[in-house]
Amino acid sequence: MQFLSTQTHIKFMSKRHIAVVFSAILIIISLASLVKQGLNFGIDFTGGTMIELGYKDAVDLNQVRSQLSSAGYEDATVQNFGSIHDILIRLPVIDTKNMSQLSNEVVAMLNTHTDAEIDVRRVEFVGPQVGEELTEQGGLAMLYALIGILIYVSVRFEYRFAIGSVVALIHDVIITLGFFSLSRVEFDLTVLAAILAIIGYSLNDTIVVFDRIRETFLRQRKGEPEEIIDSALNDTLSRTLMTSFTTILVVLALFIFGGDVIHAFSMALLLGIGVGTYSSIYIASNTLLVMGVSKEDLLPPVKEDDENRNSDGSQV
């Protein structure tokens, strides 16, 4: 199925210098924000208590926040969870309190401000040590994924292709993390899962582009590397747009109708799909040009038996 009805002839690589400057600006801003203020880690990484409560009537979140603040829980975050009758309260680790009893104190306090009994649906406590381990293991998960990708693409294609794919993936991850650092959206395990999904999505798109670039290099006898890469990118453009468009439709539905619980997850995927599609064209492919890939680099190695044969197939 074709997203575009006619073959395009867009000169992508003619804009590669502009793309490099644009990406460099985004990466510098992202790294500066990550160094200066870091990520707004959720309870999964910092530790704390999460309490899910059910009310008989619709809940006024501002009123609940005011009640918690008056009781000394100024750092508590309150949001709807699934419906207007259910709320999710997140409390950071409080050194002066027994965290195992904290949920009972909070529920007892909130019960004094309502006539109907509050239904306690779920209570979860994550200790600071567990949160630190999750942070370390999450970082290692991304590192191992990048190393595995580097090895796979090196074997499947050529080492320059592997470097190009990893550069594009690092580009995508840094910009996504930078967005979460700048926006101060809570970074929890669901966002980490989204980033790992972004790595897989971006790699899949990059592999398709690289495969077509290799085929085009071997098929076209004449032409500069820039022209050949442009031809390959135009050949895969319809597939890239179709894949990105249909994926964005699904993630957009999650973003709009999925609720607060997966809001950050879907936001990360939306950003990652856009950045991943861009990087497959302008970062991964551009890296190949910078590293000087040519047709000779992609030709299969000549076997010794082939070298000893004449052009008519007879043995020398």
Q: What is the pLDDT of residues 95-114, one digit of tens each?
A: 666 666 777 888 888 888 88
Q: What is the pLDDT of residues 264-303, one digit of tens each?
A: 899 999 999 999 889 988 898 888 888 876 666 565 555 5
Residues 187, 267, single domain; the answer is yes
Residues 200, 88, single domain; the answer is no
Domain end: 106, 126, 146, which one? 126
Residues 201, 263, single domain; the answer is yes
* 156 part of a folded domain: yes
Contacts 24+ apart (CB under 8 A), 56-62: 56/85, 56/116, 57/85, 57/116, 58/84, 58/85, 59/84, 59/85, 59/86, 59/87, 61/87
Q: What is the pLDDT of residues 208-223, one digit of tens each?
A: 888 888 888 778 767 7
Residues 58, 151, single domain; the answer is no
Query: What's the token pair of residue 105?
Result: 């104190």
Residues 99, 178, single domain; the answer is no
Q: Identify the CATH number of the domain in which residue 174 sits.
A: 1.20.1640.10
Q: Give kind and range of the element (H or E) at residue 81.
A: strand 77-81
Residues 98, 144, single domain; the answer is no
Residues 220, 85, single domain; the answer is no
Residue type for 234, please?
N
Residue 312: helix, strand or coil by DSSP? coil
Residue 275's pLDDT is: 92
Q: What is the pLDDT of residues 153-170, one digit of tens each?
A: 777 777 778 888 888 888
Q: Measure the CA–CA gap between 198 and 44, rounded to whole angstroms.
A: 20
Residue 164's pLDDT is: 86
Domain count, the chain: 2
Domain end: 111, 126, 141, which one? 126
* 140 part of a folded domain: yes
Residue 187: helix, strand or coil by DSSP? strand
Query: What's the token pair of residue 155?
Result: 């074997």
Residues 122, 144, single domain; the answer is no
Beta-sheet strand order (sheet of 77-81): 77-81, 83-92, 48-54, 119-126
- In the predicted structure, residue 305 carries a pLDDT above the cut 70: no
Q: Identify the CATH number of the domain in which residue 55 sits.
A: 3.30.70.3400
CA distance from start to end of the chain: 50
* 36 part of a folded domain: no
Residues 159, 218, single domain; the answer is yes
Residues 134, 282, single domain; the answer is yes
Residues 168, 59, single domain; the answer is no
Query: What's the token pair of residue 268?
Result: 């990360």
Domain end: 126, 159, 181, which one? 126
- In the predicted structure, residue 198 carries a pLDDT above the cut 80: yes
Domain boundaries, position 87:
48-126
Residues 119, 176, single domain; the answer is no
Give me the percent of the chain exceeding a pLDDT of 70: 85
* 205 part of a folded domain: yes
Residue 31's pLDDT is: 95
* 37 part of a folded domain: no
* 188 part of a folded domain: yes
* 262 part of a folded domain: yes
Q: Hey, which of 6-10, 72-76, 181-185 has the most confident mean pLDDT?
A: 181-185
* 4 part of a folded domain: no
What pTM was estimated for this model as a whole?
A: 0.76
